[in-house]
Chain A
Amino acid sequence: MSGLRRIPWALVLVVAALFVPALGSRFYTFVATDVAILALFAVSLNLLLGYTGLVSFGHAAYFGIGAYATGILMKKAGIPFLLAFPAAGVLAGLFALVFGFFCVRLTKIYFAMLTLAFAQIVWAICFKWNDVTGGEQGMPEIPYPDLAWMERLPLAGQLRTSDHFYLLTVVLVAACLWVLRRIVGSPFGRILTTIRENPERAEFIGVNVRRFELIAFVIAGAFAGLAGGLFGIFNRGVFPDFVYWSKSSEVLIMTILGGIGYFYGPAVGALVLLVLNQQITSYTQYWPFILGTILIVLLFAFPSGIVGALDAAARRLARPRRA
């Protein structure tokens, strides 16, 4: 057991992920890119949901803002990805700061409703502001970043542009997850968990609960924005439905499905949901119906998510050996 624990699993997974394009399937690379980006999106939401105990129904706002920021900068202003990508995080973080300032003044369901309200306002602006966002039609043909230099890398020379973008995505997502993981394991992260557990008591140990909630909200928003920045390019376009409430509920479902009590739970949720989606839509058009059914079963069978269920199973296996 302890030997297995010492292996840096996250690193192994990242290296393995870098070999997906080597399988030669355009489809696998496509799904893997989608999973990587949405995994980051879901893990960013979990900083609020699982660590701080805040339910956001409007997390897609920051994802969408990031996507539009990168898209507009790269397509209309010709700004290179190297700047347009961090800009997505900064801009989404700034919006999260402004919206969050109001949201953290409310609690529980009122907090959730206000996050939704702000997200719908962002959606309405994206939908109507034709000159900047392309309005209802969105903004197609976001260029790929210039990744020609990758051709000089060993092994990566034969790959397509979409494969190159995938490799970039894996590295950036891994870096973002590493940062989030550090944050979660920091003294700040510990204080967030006290807020989740008991905000009233947290106040009495000297924690300015609203301020900490706001900081968490900004960090989560910024990382959602970075995920959005990648997603617009991956999707070859940015559209208002990135910001729509259904996108917020989708990421919420991924996060809960994977398990909010685990750092990588939401990432697993993203993987499972996207793969199921791909598989099932190729057999039937009743995806929403099937999705609903799967969710109900999972929520009752695995109330702490897929990772929670796996964790419990692993513990059960480990116990008799110790005795």
Chain B
Amino acid sequence: MPELTNKDRMKIPRHHMPEQAPEVRIHNFNEVNLGYTIELAREEAERCLRCKKPVCIEGCPVAVKIPDFIKLVAEGKFKEAAEILKEDNALPAICGRVCPQEDQCEKVCVVAKKGEPVAIGHLERFVADWERMNIGYRLPEMRPKTGKKVAIVGGGPAGLSCAKDLIIMGHDVTVFEALHEIGGVLIYGIPEFRLPKEIVRAEVDYLRMLGVEFVTNYVIGLTETIDELLQRYDAVFIGVGAGLPYFLNIPGENLLGIYSANEFLTRVNLMRAFEFPKADTPIMNLQGKDVAVFGGGNTAMDAVRTALRLGAKNAMIIYRRTEAEMPARIEEIKHAKEEGVKFIFLSAPLEFIGDDDGWVRAVKIQKMQLGEPDSSGRRKPIPIEGAIETIPIDAAVIAIGNGSNPIISKTTPDLKVNKWGNIIVDPETMKTSKKGVFAGGDIVTGGATVILAMGAGRKAAKAIDEYLKNPEVW
């Protein structure tokens, strides 16, 4: 192709992601997005203006060298593109699928001023998938063994990225995970139709190949405490996530048919309840049922779309504010709408109503209107007096966020946490109040994103490496 001018590039429309048709995909758990073909990827890559001052990099929490990898895609040099991508992003196949690009790199992309931004996320996904499927993972250059040992607590994105950097730096790394499978939210929370588990497992296998040891079914704080780990390891990284579901605290919440999103998604994803009875763990029969999901984030979208796939006749999102305030990724909202999810905005649940057997039958809703912006800048919903409705439902999923699980803080008294139970760290080094202990990811920030957890894990790895060289000065 001849060298294009910026004007030519701006004329190319954004290439849409091929996907399963909505009427097909609501009957299966396979991935919705099918991925760019080589042609689509190369054409999309031509849309990038290769800016002198690439603002997209500033928009990326881990500063992926975006125009560089995109240029290599345009040239068909996918292997080289993958190498560049992986210098900054430890899990590109995952981030390409789940990052909120519209709030990060694509939000600031120059092309977006006149049209749609370059599809940076789709290209990231393409490159990572191409590498995995065509050449597989290669061994990176490993530093000589240092003889130091690091324990990683929690096998989510924070722990995995920390483990990867530390093993490459020559340290021995063991990951301790409470559940029977590694991956954190990537395994138990985010559904197969958005992030195939095979991809997460491939990443974990890669770390295993690099020499990372994994110990599952091991709850730090209960099976072994942080203090005991410190006797066996030279440093500890805590990446245990935000695993304590909030409930609405309204009457009727213990009725049958009411789940936290964590329970609902864990049953379906980790325990594979959608394959019942081949898999043993059940999920209530949702065939032909009315299901309400409370919340407006990615978790709520995942739950409502899971309910549809389990056969719900009517899957609803009930949210206190309006669409504009919903924190979910735009793509998830779009997909949910295409699939027929109903959105009921400006509605806050007041009470669940049950039948004699204890099953939920309806929810009472307070209608809201938007008032002044609150501290987060979002307009605060305020109740409209007397505007109360009753919506019949057979099941409900509560997806209003997670707090921090207290198992570690309770068993590690000298580990400082804030009033929400989040571990307090030095933001530069991720070190905690306890010598030799570092932390990152959702347990520090509260529920955030995969890329931020990954970034925190890598920052901690760098600091741990320094600490291991000279623990006295820390």
Please determine whether chains A and B interact with each other in the same assembly: no
Residues of A at the B interface (CB closer than 8 Å) are none
Residues of B at the A interface (CB closer than 8 Å) are none
